[in-house]
Structure formats: C-alpha cells, structure tokens
C-alpha cells in the first residue's frame, strides 16, 4: 500500500492531480485579491477572472513539464517554493496528510456526483422522454392551462425584444413560484402557474428576460468549456467552490441582460424579492432539515447580493485587460514553483 | 441580443498601476510565506529530503554501515561528491553527484534507495536513449548494464543492481569498463 501511494503520488497523473488542487487554491487566492485590489465590479469580468482558477491549474501542468521535464525531480523540489510531497507525508496526530487529502477529494467527488452529475443526468433523461425537465414533476398538457394565463404570457412576451435564438415557453401546473430554463438545441423556459398568477406583466417580462439571458449565454464556447473542465476536475474541492462562484456571477450577468432587455430594473428587483424563500417556512427535522435550511440560507444570501446590485451602474476603474494579464502572469509564475 | 456587458474598459492608469504594485507585493508575500512554510515539515520531522554538506554528515544521520560509497574512482572524477541529497521518509534514499575534473558537466551519479522506493526522482541525469543492454554477474550479484545517451546527447551508461535491502544505480559519463569497476568496489 505504501509503495502504491508513493508510486501514485510521484507518477505523472499523481503529480498532475495533486498540483491541480493546490494550484487552483493559489489561483483562487490571487483572483480574490485581484478583484478586491482593482475593485472589479462587473460580474462578467469577475467571472472571467474566476474562470482562470478553473482553466489554469488544469492546463498549466503539462506545459510546465514540457518547459522543464525535470520539474518533478527532487533537485527542482529542493529549490521550489513548496514541495507538496513533504507535506503529504507529514503526520497530524499520527495520520499522514495524504490520507486526509484523499478523504477531502473523496468527499468532493461525492458532492459532485450527488449535487451536479446526477441531477444533470436526470434532467437529460426527462428531456429525452419528452417530460418537463423543469421545476416540477407534475405536468399538465398545455391545452388544459387556462386562457388567462396564456394571455398573460403572450402579453409579456410581446414587449420583449426578439432574440436571435428562438426559445419555447412551457407552463407547469404547480403551486411553487418557480422559473427555470433548459438550454441546448431547443431551449425552453419553464414557468409555473403560481408564478404567472403572482406576477404582473412587467414582473413576468423581467423574469423571462433573465432566463433569455441564460439561453443567450449558454452557447458561449468558454462557458461550455468551463463545464467540461469542471467535470474533469470532479475531485478538486477548490474547483467546486470556484464553479459555484462562477455560477453566481452568471446569475448576475443574466440579471444585467434582463435589465437591458426590459429597461425596467425595478420589475426585476420586485420579481426576485417575490421569489425569495420564506424564512418562516418549516425546514423539517433531522439532517435533511438542516441541509434544507442551509440551502435556503445560501440561496437567500445569493438573492440578496443580486438584489443589492440590480440597476446600480457598474463602471470598472482599472484597465481590465491589464488586470487579466497581471493576474494570469502571477498565477502562472507562482504555481510553476509549487510542485 | 448582443451581450455588451464586457465592453472595453476606460479606467484610470494610475489606479491600475497602484493595483499592479499592490498585487506584486501580495504575490511576494505569498511566495515568501510558502517558502518558509515549506520548511515546517522538515522541522517537525528531519527525515524529509534535504541537501547534505558532506559524506560525514550523511554518515552521522544514516549510519556509516547504511551508506555504500565506491572505493574506486576513475581518473577524471572528483572526490568528494559535489552534491548530496538524501531522505529517510517516505523511503530511504541517497543520491551523490561527482563532477569530472576540469569541467562543469555531470560525471557520476550514484543513487541508493530502499527497495520499495522510487529511484527515478533521485537521478540527476537519465539515460534518454538506450542503445544497448546487457547483464553482468559481479560477486554473485546480477547487474543490468545499459549504454546510451543522457541529456544533451552526452554518451553515458548505467549499472543497476539490488541486494536484500537496497537498490543501487550508477549513471556515469565514464567508460563502461570504469563504471563496472566503480560498481565492483561498491559490492560487498
């Protein structure tokens, strides 16, 4: 077992995986600092910087090794900033750190499987079967939805500017205030009847415009690549956290698109406020209850952040290409000496 | 609908410059912290890989009976070793490098590791292309002899064997006969 761990950690794959995690930690630190120091405010720029924490650690190791094949040797490690092998074989209360590292990566993999991969597979299955992949499992044929609801949606859509990519609207009979979209070749927006009844025309427009933003952005190659890279580094806890942050910035970008399409930031603000989870709702008992409460809490925090910035003018003070360049250079140069 | 939220930035050059200076300072601090923190595992446990100043220090730490040093050196290889690294954890390993006289190119690299260890990381130079391979028997031990070229296209050869405890490898730019004599002087 000992020999296998050591062989694994000193193999190309072992070094790649290990350094990918640590490099993404360093990248995350540098990016967070850059956002604060240069007061980067636009979500699209913040997202661009955060994407570096995904892409760089995955792509730089092979390049580093090409530049210097001896980078993994002990001779290089002696002069490096950090020799990870030393840390891995250190013991904390008699437990080697590599055991703790493997446990953390294992838990991260589990979270990825349960929270991201499985829901994605289920959604694809539902879509494949022609079922609604939206918020609710209970559906109702469109002809059964009453005319008033359809009229409301049609009225809201009429005043939205047309977009190059077509999309469909699917109404779901549900009591929950829910709205989502599916992207791909035939994008669709799913809206529940409760939401349509609760919102007026302007709120509906703003909500639909937000989902249109998602549809418009779903085809961007860099975001598709981010999803692929995210899947490849399923074991990386830093990538898990950073991807969440990237997704949060994506929501803010779509808020900006919604405001641009509707020219009505107040409507979006009110729509989001109405969709905030009820703080007094019962979360249930036990672990499930705690998990549900935590999810509601984090979702609420995110909504609050979005609400605070809707309609606020954002202007970058720093030269963004230089911000990108400096951040990238610092990430690449520091990580070269972490082996 | 075109996403215009990423249009060209207008920001102030002075603000950008201030930020750049600050980022460089922060990065220097991160680098310094990492560099000093890197010594922590060695402070907690002295068995990790480090450089040794001379053979005597190596003998003090590992025990004179553990280290195998050749008693034969061909002409043109300098004693003492110019560079020694060794570790006890995660496995025992010692690597010594000997410079050729009158030149800065690598002359001789001797690696000794635990049988469960990985000697590759300890080699300063490697046989990149093997042109020939043969087996030799010296004092009852089976040795694998390889001839080829090392980094930079320099002609070199290697000889490796193991006993009950350790794996040994000699990589040398000396002639094959000299390398065999070095190995003979190491095998008890």
Are the CB atoms for A13 and A62 separated by under 8 Å?
no
Residues lower than pLDDT 50 in chain B: 1-10
Q: Do the bridges between strand A95-96 and strand A91-92 make them parallel or antiparallel, or are there none, so unpaired? A: antiparallel
What is the pLDDT, as a whole number, of residue A148? 74
Average pLDDT of the residues of chain A: 84
> CA–CA separation, B96 vs B83, rounded Å?
6
B104 and B56 fall within a common domain: yes
CA A108 to chain centre: 15
B90 and B15 fall within a common domain: no
Mean pLDDT confidence for A141-147: 55
Q: Choose between A15 and A294: higher pLDDT.
A: A15
Spell out which residues of chain A touch residue B15, defining contact as CB-CB under 8 Å: 38, 317-318
What is the pLDDT, as a whole number, of residue A164? 67
**A209 to chain B: closest CA residue:** B1
Domain total for chain B? 2
B116's tokens: 């469960």
Mean pLDDT confidence for A75-91: 88
B126 and B35 fall within a common domain: no
Task: Print the domain residue range for B124.
Answer: 50-186
A31's tokens: 């990016």
Mean pLDDT confidence for A72-76: 85
**What is the least distance, in Å, from the CA of A293 to any CA of chain B?**
34
pLDDT more than 70, % of chain A = 87
B169 and B83 fall within a common domain: yes
B28 and B75 fall within a common domain: no
> CA–CA separation, A54 vs B12, rounded Å?
29
- Please name which of B135, B117, B46 lies closest in space to residue A86, comparing C-alpha atoms: B46
Neighbours of A178 (CB within 10 A): 16
B74 and B27 fall within a common domain: no
Mean pLDDT confidence for A25-44: 96
Contacts of A99 (CB under 8 A, 6+ apart): none
Interface contacts (A, B; CB < 8 Å): 133
Instruction: Say if the Cβ atoms of A81 and B38 lie within 8 Å.
Output: yes
Indicate the residue of B11, B95, B122 with minimum beta-carbon distance to A318.
B11
**What is the least distance, in Å, from the CA of A318 to any CA of chain B?**
4
Mean pLDDT lowest among A102-111, A129-138, A196-205, A206-215: A129-138
B120 and B41 fall within a common domain: no
């Amino acid at each position: 077992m000992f020999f296998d761990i050591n062989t694994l950690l000193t193999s190309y794959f072992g070094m790649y995986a290990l350094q990918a995690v640590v490099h993404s930690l360093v990248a995350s630190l540098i990016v967070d600092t850059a956002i604060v120091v240069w007061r980067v405010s636009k979500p699209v720029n913040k997202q661009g910087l955060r994407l570096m924490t995904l892409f760089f650690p995955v792509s730089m190791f092979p390049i580093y090794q090409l530049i210097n094949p001896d980078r993994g040797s002990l001779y290089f490690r002696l002069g490096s900033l950090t020799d990870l092998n030393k840390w891995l074989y250190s013991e904390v209360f008699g437990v080697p750190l590599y055991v703790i590292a493997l446990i953390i990566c294992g838990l991260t993999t589990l979270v990825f499987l349960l929270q991201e991969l499985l829901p994605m597979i289920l959604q694809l299955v539902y879509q494949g079967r022609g079922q609604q992949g939206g918020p609710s499992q209970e559906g109702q044929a469109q002809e059964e939805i009453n005319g008033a609801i359809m009229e409301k949606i049609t009225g809201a859509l009429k005043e939205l500017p047309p977009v190059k990519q077509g999309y469909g609207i699917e109404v779901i009979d549900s009591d929950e205030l829910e709205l989502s979209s599916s992207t791909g070749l035939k994008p669709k927006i799913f809206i529940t009847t409760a939401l349509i009844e609760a919102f007026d025309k302007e709120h509906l427009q703003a909500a639909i415009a937000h989902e249109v933003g998602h549809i418009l952005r779903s085809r961007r190659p860099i975001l598709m690549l981010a999803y692929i890279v995210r899947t490849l580094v399923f074991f990386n806890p830093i990538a898990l956290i950073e991807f969440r942050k990237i997704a949060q910035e994506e929501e803010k970008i779509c808020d900006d698109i919604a405001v641009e399409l509707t020219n009505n930031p107040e409507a979006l603000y009110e729509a989001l406020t109405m969709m905030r989870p009820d703080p007094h709702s019962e979360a249930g008992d036990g672990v499930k209850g705690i998990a549900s409460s935590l999810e509601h809490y984090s979702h609420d925090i995110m909504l609050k952040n979005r609400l605070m910035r809707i309609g606020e003018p954002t202007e970058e003070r720093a030269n963004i290409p230089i911000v990108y360049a400096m951040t990238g250079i610092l990430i690449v140069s520091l990580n070269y000496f972490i082996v | 609908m075109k996403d215009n939220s990423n249009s060209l930035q207008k920001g102030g050059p002075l603000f950008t410059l201030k930020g750049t200076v600050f980022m460089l300072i922060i990065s220097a601090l991160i680098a310094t912290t990492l560099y000093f923190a890197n010594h922590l595992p060695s402070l907690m446990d002295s068995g990790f890989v480090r450089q040794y100043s001379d053979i005597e220090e190596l003998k003090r730490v590992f025990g004179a009976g553990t280290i195998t040093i050749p008693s034969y050196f061909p002409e043109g290889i300098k004693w003492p070793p110019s560079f020694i690294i060794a570790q006890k954890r995660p496995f025992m390993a010692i690597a010594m490098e000997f410079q050729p006289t009158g030149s800065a190119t690598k002359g001789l690299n001797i690696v000794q590791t635990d049988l469960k260890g990985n000697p590759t990381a300890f080699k300063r130079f490697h046989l990149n292309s093997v042109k020939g391979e043969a087996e030799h028997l010296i004092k009852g031990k089976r040795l694998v002899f390889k001839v080829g070229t090392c980094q930079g296209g320099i002609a070199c050869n290697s000889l490796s064997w193991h006993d009950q405890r350790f794996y040994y490898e000699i990589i040398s730019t000396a002639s094959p006969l000299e390398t065999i004599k070095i190995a003979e002087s190491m095998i008890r």
